[in-house]
Amino acid sequence: MTLRAVLRLWPLWLAIAAAFGGALAWGHYASLRADLAATRAELAAAQGMITAYAEAIEIRRRSDETQARLHEAAAALDHQLEQMEGGDAPLSDYLAAAAHNVWR
């Protein structure tokens, strides 16, 4: 086949090159679509984790507030008992055991 015969078939070579380029582009496009789908799935999972962490933080905050209120109430009760008349008097064995069970 001579150069002239090859050059005469330029539309065929152009069509082959275009088909090859199109196939490569289609493969790249399909790969990008798969990557996009995977990224969207990862994003949804991450958003779910963020929501769960935010909920856990809120639960912890409420628990800490409750613990602080209980601690303040117990401290106020201890202070009140210490300030009452006879607060420094020794307890009977029965009351000492009961107090030990309550405050340990």
CA-CA-CA-CA dihedral for 34, 39, 45, 46, to nearest 10: 170
CB 99 within 8 A of CB 91: yes
Question: 44-93 pLDDT, tens per residue?
Answer: 999 999 999 999 999 999 999 999 999 999 999 888 888 888 777 888 88
DSSP state of 91: P
Instruction: Please tell me the predicted confidence (pLDDT) of residue 1.
Output: 66
Instruction: Please tell me the predicted confidence (pLDDT) of residue 65.
Output: 98
Question: 21-35 pLDDT, tens per residue?
Answer: 998 898 899 999 999
What are the residue ranges of helices labelled H in 1-104?
Answer: 3-8, 10-83, 93-103
Instruction: Please tell me the predicted confidence (pLDDT) of residue 33.
Output: 92
Neighbours of 55 (CB within 10 A): 10
CB 54 within 8 A of CB 62: no
